[in-house]
Structure 1
């Protein structure tokens, strides 16, 4: 399962947020570090979510994300696909 993430620069660091997954965010000193941290954040977010819900939210298409956030994505921001390698049922698995 893969989710689109928005990668933005914030005061010399990079932030990643997932439009389909409220509260799932990550930071890093470089875009690569932020995306690496986003993989971990997605895994941990899914662990918490799956304790309360039976299935993960359906990932939006790129077009749906762009339409939903048109005008809200900062100039220079990028969309990236982040894979949820294996959903787990505990944080840090």
Structure 2
């Protein structure tokens, strides 16, 4: 991925009543990765979700205070056309 830089990264965001979800996704070595930061009903969680080509999924959650700012990447990364967060409406 380093040789390709940010071209592989995609951004998705969903904001509605008591819900704010942001994620950055990419694929590497037959696996899909989603770095996420979700706030729902005042509870925040963040981490990385990994799905392999055979369909196995695993999630690694952040522990302790979350200081991420995925939302700030929305203006710098391409929109993820495939994410349901964007409602199929990338600019």
Alignment TM-score, normalising by the size of structure 2:
0.36
Q: Which has the higher contact order (CA 8 A, sep 6+)?
A: 1
More strand by share: 2
More helix by share: 1
Alignment TM-score, normalising by the size of structure 1:
0.35
